[in-house]
Copies of this chain bind each other. A is one copy, B any other.
Amino acid sequence: MSVPETVLAAMRQTNDLFSDVVGRRDFDGLDRVYTRNARVLPPGAEMVEGRQQIKAFWRGAIVGLGLKSVKLTIVDAEAVGDRVFEIGRAELLVGSGDTVTVKYVVQWKQEDGHWKWHVDIWNMNQ
């Protein structure tokens, strides 16, 4: 099923929050991005479960990469039951000045009235 425009708008708002986390190094902002039991499957590491572990992961990854900004684009989104399955694209500006293109799949779930990332996996195009 297609995703109502109101939900897409809410998803874009969450994506913007993530960009803010990266831009401002405000890792507590991840509380509004990931569900409490979220799982992140990053390239080059084991799966990370739960919000505290996810915060620690992103702190290390964002600081480690010298990540300056992230732009997220929804490529496709489908409503399935009470979830949304998204295929997306990210442009990362890293410390070296290079741009890295990433594709991802996110399973979205509502928590406390907000649409959040419940499962998050990605990889690089190059």
Contacts and interface: CB of A to CB of B under 8 A. Distances in A.
Copies of this chain, whole number: 2
For the residues of A in contact with B, the DSSP-based class is strand
Interface residues of A, number: 26
B125 A123 contact: no
Scoring A44, A103, A105, A119 by chain B CB atoms within 10 A of each residue's CB, the highest score goes to A105
Given A41-B105, A47-B103, A103-B47, A85 B123 contact: no
A87 B85 CA distance: 14
Given A44-B123, A44-B125, A85-B107, 7 more contacts: A39-B87, A41-B104, A83-B85, A103-B121, A105-B121, A121-B121, A121-B123
